[in-house]
Amino acid sequence: MRTKIMLLACPALALVLVSPALAGITRVGTTAAPFLSIGIGSRALGMGGAYTGVSEDASCLFWNPGAAAVLEKSEAMLIQSDYLADTEMNFFGLVTPIGENTSVGLSMTFLDYGEMEVNTVEEPEGTGEFFRASDLALGLTYSTRFTDRFSIGFTGKFVQQKIWHESASTVAFDVGTRFRTDFNNMVLGMGIYNVGLDMEMGGTDLLLGHDLDPNQGGDNPAVPVNLDLYAWPLPITFRMGASMPVIENPQHSLLVAVDASHPVDNSESLSLGSEYGFRNRFFLRGGWHNLFLTDQEGGLTLGGGLELPVFSAGTLYLDGAWEDFGRLDQVVKYSLRFKW
């Protein structure tokens, strides 16, 4: 009974959280920390991001924390790759079992916008100063299996955005579930992500001197004031997915997957993906991300991977993915995973 209640509670909670989007208002650009929606892991991205129902590696810390309890061994993932508009995406994740049915995980996502020159109205060519901007998310995950088929996981996150001397931070959480069915080992995954408090920028550049009455002499012409900026919500997303092995034998394997995504700041979309494996060592992947998304750019994804046993120490995985973002350019990402 407890398992059934949890399975029903997630979509019910999601309906409440994303109800503003049900009215047809996409609210694009109305949330803070959009980097929280950038997919993680080259295997997942090579499959078009249709990974909520797969999540068989450390990238489950992003896609579905409920799948972390299914991992039988410890696994670490490291990503460092260029992203759109000359930004750099970095991710580190670690999942380790702490019991027969329980796992914990740590994750760090860091998006670096690089160094940019300060320009003002008086000096449009630059003042000679430079500033940086970055986004950071630190996560702690707990996942447990209630049965051999059903697991659930929770992630608590610290989220921070910085630009020059200003910053905003908040806390948020994700919850995900994973259920393996009797139908050809089909796996169903579901999750709600980025539920948390609003973010509001603050910093020394918002402290100004103001003359309360410019027409009166003898008063203080620089009364300290603080600019009060608007607070913006996080990009809450409800996502559900399914995956199913079509071919499974020692020589060949074929996995297909589909994800449906419902964010509060955009329209609904589908992602499709597949993975072909040869002797469980070489992998080819393909997919399409954000199908039916309003104002979609690109969509095709391709990828590949290689599994390398490292003597008795464990197994090393090298994965790569190519994503087409249309007029926004293409992105190539690489992931390094180690399981022991």
Three-class SS of 233-291? CCCCEEEEEEEEEEEECCCEEEEEEEEEEEECCCCCEEEEEEEEEECCCEEEEEEEEEE
In a domain, 208, yes or no: no
In a domain, 213, yes or no: no
In a domain, 211, yes or no: no
**CA 166/CA 52 separation, integer angstroms:** 34
Q: What percent of the chain has pLDDT over 70?
A: 92
**CA 325/CA 288 separation, integer angstroms:** 11
What pLDDT does residue 138 have? 98
CATH number of the domain at 72, please.
2.40.160.40
Element (H, E) at 7: helix 2-17
In a domain, 182, yes or no: yes
Q: How many CA atoms lie within 13 A of 278 on its CB side?
A: 7
Report the predicted TM-score, pTM, of the whole model to 2 decimal places.
0.84
In a domain, 125, yes or no: no
Q: What is the pLDDT of residues 221-278, one digit of tens each?
A: 777 877 888 889 999 999 999 999 999 998 999 999 999 999 998 889 999 999 999 9
Nearest 5°: CA angle at 320, between 316 and 324? Answer: 165
In a domain, 216, yes or no: no
In a domain, 7, yes or no: yes
How many structural domains does the chain have?
Answer: 1
Which residues are CB-contacts of 92 (< 8 A; sequence separation ≥ 6)?
76, 77, 78, 79, 107, 108
Q: What is the CA radius of gyration of the chain?
A: 23
Parent domain of 152: 2-119+131-200+236-339
Regarding predicted confidence, which is higher, 152 or 164?
A: 152
Largest CA distance in the chain: 88
Which residues are CB-contacts of 121 (< 8 A; sequence separation ≥ 6)?
none
Q: What is the pLDDT of residues 18-61, one digit of tens each?
A: 444 444 566 777 899 999 999 999 999 999 999 999 998 999 99
In a domain, 223, yes or no: no
Asked whether 140 and 154 are in contact (CB, 8 A), the reply is no
Question: Exposure pattern of 227-252 as b/e (b: 16+ CB <10 Å)?
Answer: eeeeebbbbbbbbbbbbbeeeeeeee
**CA 287/CA 323 separation, integer angstroms:** 9
